[in-house]
Structure 1
């Protein structure tokens, strides 16, 4: 389970909001925005990284401009809930580059994955690889996004 870090002050939150918006901001720009010199600002960022609050700094790509505008949500139900099967399943699914998000769920389905591919033909290829690489799937249901209405990686701070 993740350790919650309750000791974030407003300066930490401001730095995190700024980095969520633009991770290319320089240390000097960040420090100036929160009225710190670069050394204390750097120490705060290092602490946030060491505590796992700031996991990584990445570039967000536009799927449509890369020819990956087809988004599918795949729900999976299984009758096998053994530890061995679970580890094998997770390892197998995480190897698929098309799977951009993957969750164990409560409710009617056991797992949910978000799949990003070029088109229906590419999804069909993915689907066939998925169902043929894992034993014990009792139900696999897919739905397809018609239009992205909101997408963000920014957490509400």
Structure 2
């Protein structure tokens, strides 16, 4: 992905280390819908903060698998709070790597509800989403790419 000479790229505010969570997602074509949703929910600034945060990042395909019209509806300005709640359900405080996970553990998300971790051999599930790319390092946390948009429990 990165050539050896790319590590010294000092344009903008990037340093010699990994980029923040939003910059990382912005440079990942399969996460462009997530970036669009973060912008619509005004959460970009929060995920560019010091953190650390652990983000379970749904791919574009995961957003596309939502029922027809769901994403378009969530991206409307009047649904900003609902979208923010859904996105915050994909974020946990702290730097949680795949090696920190144990079967049956739960983690409190930024929206207040818990996620459940299930390990089965080498596969990791967060609720009913599969982790397809674990442990993508960012300067302010870690990203785990998942194959499904997780909906927070209703009535919390």
**TM-score (ref. length: structure 1):** 0.27
More helix by share: 1
